[in-house]
Amino acid sequence: MIVVAGPGSVGGFVGAMLAANGERVAFVGRGEDPPFPDGLSAVAMGRPPVRVEVFEDPEHLVEADLVIVAVKSKDTAAAARRIAETAPADARVVNLQNGVTNGDVLRAHLGDRVCEGMFGFNLVRTRAGEIVQMTDGEIVLDQRAADTAQQLRGAGLQVRTHSNMKGILWAKLLMNLNNPLNALSGKALKQELSDRRWRRVFATCMREGIAVSHAEGIVLERVAKLPSRLIPPILSLPNSLFLRIASSLVNIDPEARSSMADDYTLGRPSEVNWLNGHVVKRAKALGLIAPMNEKVTAAVMDAFAMSPRPPLSFDPEHFLSGG
């Protein structure tokens, strides 16, 4: 039995794809509202929708051979405790969260059976309750989870395994440094990334993140069509050149937004402290500076603290001007 801890966009999508391929899948949430009250359907890019029956019951954890963790970062410790209490001690745990520290939290509760994963594409939950893949992309799993990779491939997902998951997760973190910019801009990803001023803010966040990753001794792996070190100079190019050289970076559904933009709209907390905030924290610890990530983190904290939350339309000049 495969148990998905975190029946949201990522968990629901992966769980639905696996169930549609004949795997036994159950979902474990916080136990409050049913996660998919109107049923669960997922739409992988270029494929017909799949609709599956949902089993939601924490008791299923007792039968788990595999637990896929897809909660938001703030909920990792609670999910880990539940898994440690209920799942068999030899059940594999695969972590699909963003950020580079959630795996450590899981390992503190669950030991070395935790395998890291990188979930490299964007999903939205439509009003009709479907979870739809909005950007092309792959999943990368720790090479120890080769059989899980095989199950996911069988379900029609693009998956590879890797031995240097730290390098994969840090490279993904660098891409996620745009999540708050996308939320603050109030625009879809494609529109935001078509504005050179937002790309320059993103490029600066990435440069700071790359410096931190080097000081951490991380060997960055490739998670996009381009290696991380080439992305900031390319992001900084004028539009005409950028669109010619890096069309793949904006080859995304015109409606796609980052998961942090969705969190803002849905009134949820942000993961900024695990993304840009983590770069700031590690920069300080390593004697470096990360002023752009610091400014972005502060803006997100202020924006998410507003109640009610108005639509956002930050001006990128707010970040580019010296003040």
- Examine residue 9 and tell whether it contacts ligand KPL (CB under 6 A): no
Structure tokens at 240: 């005409």
In the list ligand NDP, ligand KPL, none, the entry touching 79 (Cβ below 5 to 8 angstroms by class) is: ligand NDP
Taking the least distance from each CB to ligand NDP, the nearer of 71 and 106 is: 71
Q: Which candidate, 123, 106, 176, 167, places its Cα nearest to that of 142?
A: 167
For 109-116, the CB contacts below 8 A with 24+ separation are: 109/77, 109/80, 109/81, 109/83, 109/84, 110/80, 110/83, 110/84, 115/141, 115/142, 115/144, 115/145, 115/148, 115/165, 116/141, 116/142, 116/165, 116/166, 116/168, 116/169
Structure tokens at 263: 């969190």
Taking the least distance from each CB to ligand KPL, the nearer of 50 and 174 is: 174
Q: Which candidate, 79, 134, 137, places its Cα nearest to that of 108?
A: 79
Those residues whose C-beta lies under 8 Å from the C-beta of residue 291, and which sit 6 or more positions away, are: 208
Candidate segments 171-179, 199-207, 285-293, 298-306, binder of ligand KPL by CB under 6 A: 171-179
Taking the least distance from each CB to ligand KPL, the nearer of 135 and 288 is: 135
- Examine residue 170 and tell whether it contacts ligand KPL (CB under 6 A): no
- Examine residue 121 and tell whether it contacts ligand KPL (CB under 6 A): yes
x/- contact string, 35-54, with ligand NDP (CB under 6 A)?
x-------------------
- Examine residue 122 and tell whether it contacts ligand KPL (CB under 6 A): yes
Please select the residue that binds ligand NDP; options are 2, 9, 169, 201, rule is CB under 6 A: 9
At its nearest, how many Å lie between ligand KPL and the CB of residue 188? 11
| Binding interface with ligand NDP (CB under 6 A) | 5-11, 28-30, 32, 35, 70-73, 75, 78-79, 82, 96-98, 119, 122-123, 259, 271
